[in-house]
Amino acid sequence: MSEAAVSVRDVSVSYGESVVLSGVAFDVPRGEVFGILGGSGSGKTSLLRCLVGLRKPSAGDILLGGASIVHAEGDERLRLLRSFGMAFQGGALLGNRTVLENARLPLDELTDLPSEARDAAAREKLALVGLTHAADRLPSEISGGMVKRAALARALALTPGLLFLDEPSAGLDPITAAELDALIRRLSGELGVTTVIVTHELASVFAIVDRAVVLRAEAKGIVATGDPRELRRSASSEWVRSFLNRGAGFAGPGGGDG
């Protein structure tokens, strides 16, 4: 159990002749709330897709709990997919299913539990995020903050030890975003979950992230690693200090993948 929860080993990502990331490497210790930061075009989304097995990197390897998500096949790949939860940007709830049915989806697709047990497990996770009262509502009948919490409950459905969150507080008003940040931080601690957050929301970063990597498009990789509060004050790179003090608007040139 001593290995890192996530180990990224010299990962490169390309789209045709266009190199987005080259030689990216970092470890995420168990129990940490870890941030992947960067401006537009820095490769955050591409890296996240590789981390959760939606895309294979052009080179390198990614280990989840010591096992390669890049090379896993069959039962081993299924085991790895069950080992983590994922909350997509915007929530990505199915509009024709209730909040409870959305929270139950990973249980429906990845377990053979009886229907009653799946319902009970999903309701337990909805209770953790304060949505017991909304279990029978459709996504269109709840607020944006509640959608994000429902997505978090779905990500926790299988009680994973590892959680990936894509821009969890994006699009929310400051008060709702702060409440969601506090919930993520509290649940990460109470459940002992290692949490990896991809975001450009600096208020969230400074509120809940223990350590982060900062990606930059021009570098095609990591330009800083550490406590974001310390990096904001004393990073050796002036660009990193400016980025962390000025927010997502300071990303330097370069569009495309986030």
DSSP 42: S
Does residue 205 lie in a domain region?
yes
| Residue owning tokens 């180990």 | 7
Between CA 229 and CA 66 the distance in angstroms is 29
Does residue 40 lie in a domain region?
yes
Q: Of 124, 127, 87, 121, which is closest to residue 107 (Cα–Cα)?
A: 121
pLDDT value of residue 258 = 57
Q: Which domain holds residue 143?
A: 30-54+74-246
**Cα 55–Cα 58–Cα 60 angle in degrees, nearest 5:** 100
190 alpha-carbon distance from chain centroid: 18
Q: Are 178 and 162 in contact (CB under 8 A)?
A: no
Does residue 63 lie in a domain region?
no
Does residue 3 lie in a domain region?
no
pLDDT value of residue 251 = 40
- List beta partners, residue 107: none
Does residue 23 lie in a domain region?
no
Q: Of 254, 230, 251, which is closest to residue 242 (Cα–Cα)?
A: 251
Does residue 4 lie in a domain region?
no
Instruction: Tell me how many domains the chain contains.
Output: 1
Q: Are 85 and 194 in contact (CB under 8 A)?
A: no
Q: What is the C-alpha end-to-end distance of the chain, expressed in Å?
A: 33
239 alpha-carbon distance from chain centroid: 24
The token pair that represents 141 in the structure block: 């009948």
Does residue 14 lie in a domain region?
no
Does residue 203 lie in a domain region?
yes
pLDDT value of residue 246 = 75
CATH number for the domain spanning 132: value is 3.40.50.300
Q: Of 31, 111, 55, 3, which is closest to residue 257 (Cα–Cα)?
A: 55
Amino acid present at 140? S
Residue 173 CB coordination number (10 Å): 12
Give helix 74-82 / helix 99-110 axis angle, nearest 10°.
150
**Residues in the chain, overall count:** 258
Question: Looking at the whole model, is its pTM more than 0.85?
Answer: yes
pLDDT value of residue 249 = 39
Q: What is the pLDDT along the chain (258 residues), one digit of tens a residue?
A: 447 999 999 999 999 889 999 999 999 999 999 999 998 889 999 999 999 999 999 999 999 999 999 999 999 998 998 899 999 887 788 889 999 999 999 999 888 899 999 999 999 999 999 999 999 999 999 999 999 999 999 999 999 999 999 999 888 899 999 999 999 999 999 999 999 999 888 989 999 999 999 999 999 999 999 999 999 999 999 999 999 997 433 444 333 455
